[in-house]
A = this chain, B = another copy of it.
């Protein structure tokens, strides 16, 4: 069955048509800043894709943040202009097609399970390391959505009670340390302190312009400061992964999201830090940490799978 899947990211809205496990069409637009414009963009992406593949009749949408089981985006820290938006109803109404909506990390999990790194796995935690951190959970073969559909907000697990303030209102959330934002923040701190000339150079000479990508690029070039920051971030990543291990006992971790593109510099340090921090390791089978295989398209592919496999849909 041909289905359309769309992933709403912090910078782009990416739509695909999936046909029998293959992506056969793709369209992307920048992420707008208001709810009204977001609905219009989603409708536009579907229409573009149906211009290519006319018989794609089910639409799935993956959204960041708290997406409830009625297809309403309740709250999304990374889309500050958007709250309480009935995405499924509005897009379905504009298109006259069934629309299913779920959390973006949960969609990525569905995709990696169906055709990526987690094929045939029963208990999987997929962690998206990007600007923030999200998680998709599959336990005992069942995708965990939670009472409202909000499960998997792993980035807002507090790992340091009086830690760095988070836009969510708490302090010490995991994503303040282990995400691309955390890596960028530490890069700026080191840059401002005059200890990271390579990072500042990559950022065009402005210490305050250092971002996570500059750190991973410098680390790839062998810069000592960047490598140390990657190790530090890897250690924070391991803190949260071991928490998830304790709570959920997955058979594997899949790492996805923007930072997965820096797998060459990140995966080694994360795996090493995980092994250092793992508890009662002698009584547990080892748990693999693997990279996602579907890249930036995972969320959109998973949204299409969700639409095609009988989610609750508005139409």
B170, A249: Cβ atoms under 8 Å?
no
Q: Does A151 contact B (CB under 8 A)?
A: yes
Name the one of B142, B147, B244, B283 contacting A249, with C-beta atoms under 8 angstroms: B147
Tell me the bound Cα distance from A75 to B281 in angstroms.
10
Question: Interface residue count for A (Cβ, 8 Å)?
Answer: 51
Name the one of B146, B154, B249 contacting A139, with C-beta atoms under 8 angstroms: B146
Q: Does A159 contact B (CB under 8 A)?
A: yes
B158, A161: Cβ atoms under 8 Å?
no
Q: A150 CB to closest chain B CB, in angstroms?
A: 4
Q: A159 CB to closest chain B CB, in angstroms?
A: 6
B145, A142: Cβ atoms under 8 Å?
no
Q: A172 CB to closest chain B CB, in angstroms?
A: 8
Name the one of B66, B143, B152, B280 contacting A247, with C-beta atoms under 8 angstroms: B152
B243, A158: Cβ atoms under 8 Å?
yes
Tell me the bound Cα distance from A74 to B146 in angstroms.
30
Instruction: Report chain B residues within 8 Å CB of A239.
Output: 158, 161
Chain A residues numbered 104-142 whose CB sits less than 8 Å from any CB in chain B: 122-123, 135, 137, 139-140, 142
Interface string of A154-188 (1 = CB under 8 A from B): 10111111000000111000000000000000000
B159, A159: Cβ atoms under 8 Å?
yes
Name the one of B84, B146, B280, B287 contacting A66, with C-beta atoms under 8 angstroms: B280
Tell me the bound Cα distance from A243 to B144 in angstroms.
16
Q: Does A277 contact B (CB under 8 A)?
A: yes
Tell me the bound Cα distance from A246 to B103 in angstroms.
13
Name the one of B135, B139, B150, B158 contacting A242, with C-beta atoms under 8 angstroms: B158
Q: A221 CB to closest chain B CB, in angstroms?
A: 29
B243, A279: Cβ atoms under 8 Å?
no
Tell me the bound Cα distance from A236 to B146 in angstroms.
23
A148, A158, A246, A285, most chain B CB atoms within 10 A: A246
Instruction: Report chain B residues within 8 Å CB of A48.
Output: none
Q: Does A153 contact B (CB under 8 A)?
A: yes
Q: Does A44 contact B (CB under 8 A)?
A: no
Chain A residues numbered 72-86 whose CB sits less than 8 Å from any CB in chain B: 74-75, 83-84
Tell me the bound Cα distance from A81 to B185 in angstroms.
46
Instruction: Report chain B residues within 8 Å CB of A75.
Output: 280, 283
Specify the chain B residue showing the minimal Cβ separation from A177: B161
CB-CB under 8 A for A280 and B74, given A153-B247, A158-B159, A247-B247: yes
Residues of A within 8 A of B (CB): 66, 74-75, 83-84, 122-123, 135, 137, 139-140, 142-154, 156-161, 168-170, 236, 239, 242-244, 246-251, 277, 279-280, 283-285, 287
